Structure 1
């Protein structure tokens, strides 16, 4: 396994912010004008018959896996009334299994190149195995922020938590409507994901309750390996933009820019700091680091939107996954973030987003930057089979109980 040291960290310098001057923003997308061959991932690789076949295969794979995991979640639900520590440990295992579903599904149906770079703040924390797999030596407790380009951003970030062995302890802040998706929504509720309605009066008490749970000390089996404080592992994922980049959200960002007098971004939406400030204030006693990931997708034309180019259909069924997913990492000590003032926190976050915007804009830097090149995939072909372990265990346990009951009843009948 190769370790990237300080000298060899594949660093991409952050250019000095140029976004202080208000950029020219196109409020309409060029996606509809792109010819088939002009798509950044090239022409459609699978015709309609193969697409339908891939859809059927994906539906069978995902439905069986999701049903197995959700059944396992329900199977462990009674633990909540017996011992909450064991309940949360069980759900963490189920969360690991769902991460394996996402990783395996992406590996089989939407393989793509992942390029990982970082600045000096993450030096030595990025490793690559001889077989090409990535390992991130990130802390078990952190707050993770990222720009939001397309719907599958969270999939790639969840995969990163897998490379850090924390994929069972990730908590994502999502919009409330997602919890009403059949089976998936209730599953995410079991995972203690945080659903936001975008109305702070309603969201603040809910967020406070969830963050208090993440700050509660436990002595059960979910206890982290390295954390000595008694706090469970926890990765809290926040998209400060609140939603992904699209024509409608771009217009909203431009309106907010005009109203507030804050120059808009060229490749992102203006971030909102209220939720992040609150989370950092609540967690600062038990979390030391904030990790920042800049995500960019190769070849997205200026004025277009990755979310429209890389739809679920395009990525998983047409064979047009991103040419490469580029992820640039850096970290900040939460103690150094100006949380004493909401205004200062907002300015700090806006400065970081300017740096992200200039990093995405800087094509020459992207071309010549050094990076780890890898892919989203499980450790082995057999690892995804683990997701059926809870159901198999339940079946074996029920089978043993039935046999014991039969033996008892048979013994009583014979004695009479």
Structure 2
């Protein structure tokens, strides 16, 4: 009985609206402090700015991690060798990951939080995103790499942006989706047509990767002395619910499998663009086989361990929830005691609609 009531609370629209309000309001507050620190601290000490900004970023992103781990009860099983997983924490890292699911970014955040580098997780994003309030402003002030989607323009700026990330004193993880966009049936058919016309690999579970950004990053990182990149493969096979943000918000648990494999830069030919491009295509042929085997057996190569759940994201979510719940409850109380019949009717109707939403 209690379990059904708790499930109803999780599925209720009021709960969803409350967490949305908490995320957006706290995000705007944190955006303000990010901008303040950017203007007042960064001109004098970039390292101090990044240290302070780390906690401001964490205050926003940790809420999403808490919803996934504590609200929905989602869990991650990590596959790979102990040696490779230890190497993941040893230096700045570049990860090449499949892009098949709506929540792949959130799964990465959960792993990064476990490795205590959530707010130093970096990625590539469309430049238009940086103008979006909360998450876009957060990313713009956290040195994410924004792209014009024009290689002529991006090739002139991407090197300097990568150097800024490599200058971090704390470890960063740069996530690259070489497919460029999320996998779906229509895009997959177009990818197969493109590959057939150019005699390139026909991939079953991935889109054909786009080589220019990968080649540039590998050559750049190799020159800067990095030792390896990581092949990362995400899969959902034994999960009872679809891997979507809606499932997380509804409190429905997901079970994700994430495979890490170290690929030394010494094994990647970078003397010519053609050789490096061929390596990328071959890598995705391997990734396709990994995914095919996983979908048949439920296993990736290597040993498996389930990531423990950290309490810090929950504390962050509780802090912001309590901080914002007090004025919200006060406002509701003021409306209901104002004596306005219209206000009471509107509020009661809204509450009734929300209560019947599950």
Band the TM-score falls in, shorter-chain normalisation: 0.7 to 0.9
Q: Which residue of 1 aligns with 2:273?
A: 342
Deviation at 1:296, TM superposition (A): 0.8
Does structure 2 conserve the Cα–Cα contact (< 8 Å) formed by 1:97 and 1:386?
no
Provide the aligned length of Structure 1 versus Structure 2. 312
In the alignment, does 2:290 pair up with 1:359?
A: yes
Q: TM-score, normalised by structure 1?
A: 0.67
Q: Which residue of 2 aligns with 1:397?
A: none
In the alignment, does 2:225 pair up with 1:292?
A: no
Does structure 2 conserve the Cα–Cα contact (< 8 Å) formed by 1:180 and 1:186?
yes
Deviation at 1:368, TM superposition (A): 8.8
Quick one: structure 1 residues 254 and 368, their matched pair in 2 at CA, closer, same or farther if it must change by over 3 Å? closer
In structure 2, stretches of 5+ residues that fail to align are 1-5, 322-358
Does structure 2 conserve the Cα–Cα contact (< 8 Å) formed by 1:310 and 1:321?
no
In the alignment, does 2:202 pair up with 1:264?
A: yes
In the alignment, does 2:180 pair up with 1:223?
A: no
Does structure 2 conserve the Cα–Cα contact (< 8 Å) formed by 1:143 and 1:287?
no
Q: Which residue of 2 aligns with 1:76?
A: 37
Does structure 2 conserve the Cα–Cα contact (< 8 Å) formed by 1:174 and 1:196?
yes
In structure 1, stretches of 5+ residues that fail to align are 1-44, 126-135, 217-221, 225-232, 301-305, 389-416
In the alignment, does 2:54 pair up with 1:108?
A: no
Q: Which residue of 2 aligns with 1:67?
A: 28
SS at match of 2:235: strand
Write the distance in 2 (CA, Å) between the matches of 1:330 and 1:49: 36
Deviation at 1:167, TM superposition (A): 2.2
In the alignment, does 2:147 pair up with 1:196?
A: yes
Does structure 1 conserve the Cα–Cα contact (< 8 Å) formed by 2:11 and 2:249?
no
Q: Which residue of 1 aligns with 2:213?
A: 275
Q: TM-score, normalised by structure 2?
A: 0.77
Quick one: structure 1 residues 380 and 109, their matched pair in 2 at CA, closer, same or farther if it must change by over 3 Å? closer
Taking only aligned residues, the RMSD between alpha carbons, in angstroms, comes to 3.0
Task: State how 1:9-20 maps to structure 2 within 5 Å.
Answer: none
Greater mean deviation of Cα atoms: 369-378 or 262-271: 369-378
1:265-295 CA distance string (max 9 Å, x none): 1111111221011012122224222112110
Write the distance in 1 (CA, Å) between the matches of 2:89 and 2:128: 31
Deviation at 1:116, TM superposition (A): 0.9
SS at match of 1:329: strand
Does structure 2 conserve the Cα–Cα contact (< 8 Å) formed by 1:114 and 1:376?
no
1:164-211 CA distance string (max 9 Å, x none): 222232211112332232222111100111112321012112312201
Quick one: structure 1 residues 352 and 62, their matched pair in 2 at CA, closer, same or farther if it must change by over 3 Å? same
